């Protein structure tokens, strides 16, 4: 990890520019062909190297690259009320078992992250099997805005990848029946105050705050910018995927289906 070496540059670029974690970088190096990798290093060594840097711009950039928002999340508040708009038959308890066990692609978790003063939002979609992320620009925070934003981006997906969406009870999905009709997909709703029922989505929301900090006016984020952020997240190797990236995992799933299936 000597500064200026090929290994140092590999670690630096993925940490600072691609925002990979030290664990992701170390694991990726282990899985690379020996003829291609610049060396091996543990994630503990990467952390030690970062904090051993003298004070200055380089150390600040490296340390900031590790930040993923606040260290601990509190319980997520929802817009659920005593009389919810969610029909009992669409509660997550009735969701098929194959969705729970991530057996097939096409089942998504969704949410909005809010901007400054809750006046702007970005839609977040995470595919449960591959952890592939899709970000959706929203014109506002209303149910009509969510309907248009989610429809616009999910319509770009092949039909076989639009099987179901699991969401919390936020009022922004009050138009769920129309969304289900437009996308021809099932929609399921989590219990109130149960963020662990959308664990992949909650984890992604935390990672997104690295790029879209709280207090940001999200109405200024173009779809092009959101696509770039999603590409960075989908290019990170994930432990739960055997250190493949979501992009690689999704490509494998896409390759299993013929063009006729994807129409």
pLDDT band at 3 (very low <50, low <70, confident <90, very high): confident
Q: What is the pLDDT of residue 58?
A: 67
Whether residue 213 is contained in a domain is answered as yes
Q: What is the pLDDT of residue 166?
A: 97
Q: What is the pLDDT of residue 66?
A: 76
Same domain, 39 and 104: no
Whether residue 232 is contained in a domain is answered as yes
Same domain, 186 and 56: no
Same domain, 103 and 195: yes
pLDDT band at 84 (very low <50, low <70, confident <90, very high): confident
Same domain, 114 and 36: no
Average pLDDT score, the chain: 88
Whether residue 74 is contained in a domain is answered as no
Same domain, 251 and 171: yes
Q: What is the pLDDT of residue 72?
A: 28
Same domain, 29 and 128: no
Same domain, 236 and 142: yes
Q: Read off the pLDDT of each residue in 180-192 and give the average, rounded to a whole number.
A: 95
Whether residue 227 is contained in a domain is answered as yes
Q: Read off the pLDDT of each residue in 213-226 and give the average, rounded to a whole number.
A: 95
Q: What is the pLDDT of residue 2?
A: 82
pLDDT of residue 75 exceeding 60, the answer is: no
pLDDT of residue 57 exceeding 90, the answer is: no
Same domain, 192 and 248: yes
pLDDT of residue 257 exceeding 90, the answer is: no
Q: Read off the pLDDT of each residue in 158-174 and give the average, rounded to a whole number.
A: 94
Domain housing 29 = 6-65
Same domain, 198 and 116: yes
Whether residue 72 is contained in a domain is answered as no
What CATH number should be reported for the domain holding residue 226? 3.30.420.10
Q: Read off the pLDDT of each residue in 197-201 and give the average, rounded to a whole number.
A: 92
Q: What is the pLDDT of residue 142?
A: 94
Q: Read off the pLDDT of each residue in 180-187 and give the average, rounded to a whole number.
A: 96
Q: Read off the pLDDT of each residue in 58-69 and give the average, rounded to a whole number.
A: 67
Whether residue 61 is contained in a domain is answered as yes
Q: Read off the pLDDT of each residue in 161-186 and give the average, rounded to a whole number.
A: 95
Same domain, 223 and 160: yes
Q: What is the pLDDT of residue 259?
A: 57
Radius of gyration of the chain (CA): 20
Q: Are 249 and 243 in contact (CB under 8 A)?
A: no
Q: What is the pLDDT of residue 44?
A: 84
More confident residue, 72 or 137: 137
More confident residue, 58 or 36: 36
Whether residue 73 is contained in a domain is answered as no
Same domain, 110 and 226: yes
What's the number of domains the chain is made of? 2
Q: What is the pLDDT of residue 258?
A: 60
Whether residue 183 is contained in a domain is answered as yes
């Amino acid at each position: 990890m000597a500064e200026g070496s090929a290994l140092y540059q590999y670690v630096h670029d993925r940490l600072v520019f691609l925002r990979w974690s030290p664990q992701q970088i170390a694991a990726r190096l282990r899985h690379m062909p020996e003829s291609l990798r610049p060396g091996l290093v543990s994630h503990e060594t990467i952390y030690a190297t970062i904090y051993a840097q003298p004070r200055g711009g380089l150390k600040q950039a490296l340390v900031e690259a590790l930040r993923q928002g606040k260290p601990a999340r509190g319980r997520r508040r929802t817009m659920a009320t005593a009389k919810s708009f969610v029909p009992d038959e669409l509660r997550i308890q009735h969701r098929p078992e194959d969705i729970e066990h991530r057996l097939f692609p096409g089942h998504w978790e969704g949410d909005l992250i809010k901007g400054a003063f809750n006046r702007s939002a970005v839609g977040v979609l995470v595919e449960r099997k591959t952890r592939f992320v899709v970000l959706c620009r929203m014109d506002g925070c209303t149910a009509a805005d969510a309907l248009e934003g989610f429809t616009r981006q999910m319509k770009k997906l092949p039909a076989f990848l639009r099987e179901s969406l699991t969401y919390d009870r936020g009022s922004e999905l009050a138009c769920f029946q129309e969304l289900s009709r437009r996308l021809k997909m099932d929609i399921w709703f989590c219990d109130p105050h149960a963020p662990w029922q959308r664990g992949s989505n909650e984890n992604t929301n935390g990672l997104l705050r690295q790029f879209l900090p709280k207090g940001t006016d999200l109405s200024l984020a173009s779809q092009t910018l959101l696509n770039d952020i999603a590409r960075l997240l989908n290019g990170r190797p994930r432990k739960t995927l055997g250190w493949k990236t979501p992009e690689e995992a999704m490509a494998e799933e896409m390759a299993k289906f013929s063009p006729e299936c994807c129409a």
